[in-house]
Amino acid sequence: MGPRPEEIAAAGRVLASGGLVAFPTETVYGLGANALDAAAVARIYETKGRPASSPLIVHVKDAAAARALAAVWPEKAEKLARAFWPGPLTMVVPKHPSIPGIVTAGLPTVGLRVPSHPVALALLEAAGVPLAAPSANRFTAVSPTLAAHVRASLGDAVPVLDAGPARVGIESTVVSLAGQVPVLLRPGMITRQDLARVIGPVAAIEEFDEGAHPAPGLHQKHYSPAARLLVVRDGAVPQDGRGVYVGPGEMPGDAAEYASALYARLHELDRPDVDWIALEQPPDGPAWEAIHDRLRRAAE
């Protein structure tokens, strides 16, 4: 069950005339605006309470539309587009002058993605413009994987296209192709190893100075519930306060299923009477890298 074609068409008109629409993607729900309209994009920052120093990902309907928004389209971008688009991969490339500076927080680069969710693709088609879209929640809160999470965070001011749970469940992988070497700016369910199989070595952000590959937003507390989140071993939970422990058997043993369930679980457990949420540490390995990354940020 998803939104009816008339609803998508109406949402496309809202976007084309400068309004905001929250919509499903395969990663999390996004808060979209026309990426070529600076005033519309300003409404995203306002609605989220997001600082202007944090750049937005621009969603497009296909690789040709992505190329049109890039000043330079590297060979490696073309290869990754063929391998992983549509899908949960954002590529950072030099930006085309048509993209207003507010979208990229003044950076000379832009993050581009072709989502695979059929409703997101239909909406891009209906709007007829690229959509700047961060997660549809107040800044630093846990990203929404259900329409109900969007409404709980942003209220009723923004229309939400409801297509049920987001399948991937955590934010896209972000790789920069703007410098000499590809750099993984944010891990996601498309892993560093997956990227390396297509374009060769991909450096980790830790191997670079912040100045060389700016990844704004990555160093701030992010994706956090209101309750204190702890990642614990062998059930070693706090002795004080009221909390919930999520044991090893209570989350999926498969990384893709774990990611898909994680934020919904945090939203559900994050109640006013809960001081802490203690999650048993998930397994290690490449498939789990993005999950460890999000838990580390949420637990900061």
Binding site for ligand AMP (CB under 6 A): 54-57, 92, 104, 107, 109-111, 134-135, 171, 174, 185-186, 214-218
Nearest Cα to Cα of residue 200 among 58, 289, 74: 74
Structure tokens at 147: 């329409």
Euclidean distance between CA atoms 107 and 245, whole angstroms: 42
Asked if residues 107 and 55 have their Cβ atoms less than 8 Å apart, the reply is yes
What residues form DSSP beta bridges with 186?
A: 174
Euclidean distance between CA atoms 165 and 7, whole angstroms: 18
Q: What is the radius of gyration, based on Cα positions, of the chain?
A: 19
**36 or 274: CB nearest ligand AMP:** 36
Euclidean distance between CA atoms 64 and 290, whole angstroms: 28
| Least distance (Å) between residue 140 CB and ligand AMP | 10
Rule CB under 5 A: choose which of 90, 104, 135, 145 binds Mg ion: 135
**224 or 281: CB nearest Mg ion:** 224
Question: Which of 30-38, 51-59, 129-137, 199-207 is the region at the interface with Mg ion (rule: CB under 5 A)?
Answer: 129-137
**195 or 230: CB nearest ligand AMP:** 195
**4 or 219: CB nearest ligand AMP:** 219
25 binds, among Mg ion, ligand AMP, none (CB under 5 to 8 A by kind): none
| Least distance (Å) between residue 214 CB and ligand AMP | 6
| Beta strand ranges found along the chain (DSSP E) | 21-23, 30-34, 57-59, 89-94, 109-113, 131-132, 173-176, 183-186, 203-204, 228-232, 243-246, 276-280
100 binds, among ligand AMP, Mg ion, none (CB under 5 to 8 A by kind): none
| Least distance (Å) between residue 143 CB and Mg ion | 5
Using CB under 5 A as the binding rule, whether residue 145 contacts Mg ion is answered as: no
103 binds, among Mg ion, ligand AMP, none (CB under 5 to 8 A by kind): none
